[in-house]
């Protein structure tokens, strides 16, 4: 493992990626580790974490983010071909406490789903009402200044 990766001694996921805390591992490489969630929502609930300690997605390098997604997709496939009851898979990141993040080290959840599993998001009152286009534009206008690049990539030329 690269020694330049910052780690947090107080972080349980840092301990797991270093082998300093017990875990049921599914996958390990130089950038990411996949292991079973110890409080599964459903059997097969697993996590993909970067070896680098970071609380939020935006703190990670693109190369690590890309690897996390790639490994999560491989593990998604593994869930679907397993004998576990997997009708679908919820893939999500709780990016901050208000989103439900309980461990301050980025992790992708993969949760096997069944139509009758009674797990899901709880939507606020008013959800489902379609806002006017002007309202969507006004909100988008508040987000666009922070977007790294709003220009289309140049033509590839081939």
**What are the residue numbers of the active site?**
107
> Closest distance between Zn ion and the C-beta of residue 14, in Å?
3
Q: Measured from the CB atom, is 15 or 91 closer to Zn ion?
A: 15
Interatomic CA distance for residues 85 and 114, integer angstroms: 7
> Closest distance between Zn ion and the C-beta of residue 33, in Å?
11
Residues contributing to the site for Zn ion (CB under 5 A): 8, 11, 13-14, 53, 105
What string of H, E and C letters represents the secondary structure of the chain? CCCCCCCCCCCHHHHHHCCCCCCCEEEECCCEEEEECCCCCCCCCEEEEECCCCCCHHHCCHHHHHHHHHHHHHHHHHHHHCCCCCCEEEEECCCCHHHCCCCCCCCEEEEEECCCCCCCCCCCCCCCCCCCHHHHHHHHHHHHHHCCCCCCCCCCCC
Q: Measured from the CB atom, is 78 or 103 closer to Zn ion?
A: 103
> Closest distance between Zn ion and the C-beta of residue 116, in Å?
35
Q: Measured from the CB atom, is 16 or 89 closer to Zn ion?
A: 16
> Closest distance between Zn ion and the C-beta of residue 13, in Å?
5
- Determine how many CB atoms are found less than 10 A away from the CB of residue 109: 19
Q: Measured from the CB atom, is 20 or 40 closer to Zn ion?
A: 20
Interatomic CA distance for residues 18 and 33, integer angstroms: 10
């Amino acid at each position: 493992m690269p020694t330049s990766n910052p780690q947090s001694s107080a972080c349980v996921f840092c301990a797991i990626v270093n082998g300093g805390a017990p875990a049921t591992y599914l996958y390990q490489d130089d950038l990411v580790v996949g292991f079973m969630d110890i409080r599964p929502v459903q059997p097969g609930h697993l996590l993909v974490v970067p070896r680098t300690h970071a609380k939020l997605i935006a703190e990670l390098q693109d190369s690590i983010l890309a690897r996390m997604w790639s490994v999560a997709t491989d593990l998604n496939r593994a869930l679907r071909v397993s004998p576990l009851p997997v009708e679908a898979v919820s893939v999500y990141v709780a990016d901050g406490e208000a989103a439900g993040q309980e461990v301050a080290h980025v992790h992708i959840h993969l949760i096997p789903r069944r139509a009758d599993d009674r797990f899901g998001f709880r939507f606020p009152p008013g959800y489902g009402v379609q806002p006017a286009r002007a309202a969507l534009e006004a909100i988008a206008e508040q987000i666009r200044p922070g977007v790294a690049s709003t220009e289309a990539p140049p033509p590839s030329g081939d």
